[in-house]
Amino acid sequence: KEDWQEKFDLILETGDEYGPSLNRGKTFHLAGFPKVNTKKEYTMAIDVEFKDESLYYSEADSSIEGWLYSFWLRRYQEGSLETVKVILDWLNTKLDEVEKAVG
């Protein structure tokens, strides 16, 4: 197994039937993953509301950074990581083409 797989396994072992605590991304840092961004917007609890109040989303246990790591953790756990990676790589290429992005 690669290092990141061992880290994901360690995190999964700490969870219960609902999964591991994300601790706003700190769980991933404690396992040895790097901080993606140290700005508070990336590390604070998720709390989003539309101006017209038609949608409200809050997740006290997660942060943007924690959500990003947990997205890949869930794909790893369910066995779809490589498939999702291929889809996202394809999507990024298509979006670059539409926006005429370079690089």
Indicate the Cα dihedral angle 44, 57, 62, 85, nearest 10°.
-120
pLDDT in tens, 60-91: 777 888 888 999 999 999 999 999 999 999 99
This prediction's pTM:
0.74
Q: What digits encode the pLDDT tens for the residues 5-17? A: 999 999 999 988 8
Residue 7: predicted pLDDT: 96
Q: Is 22 exposed, middle or buried (0-12, 13-18, 19+ CB in 10 A)?
A: buried
**First-to-last C-alpha distance (Å) of the chain:** 32
Which amino acid appears at position 7 of this protein?
K
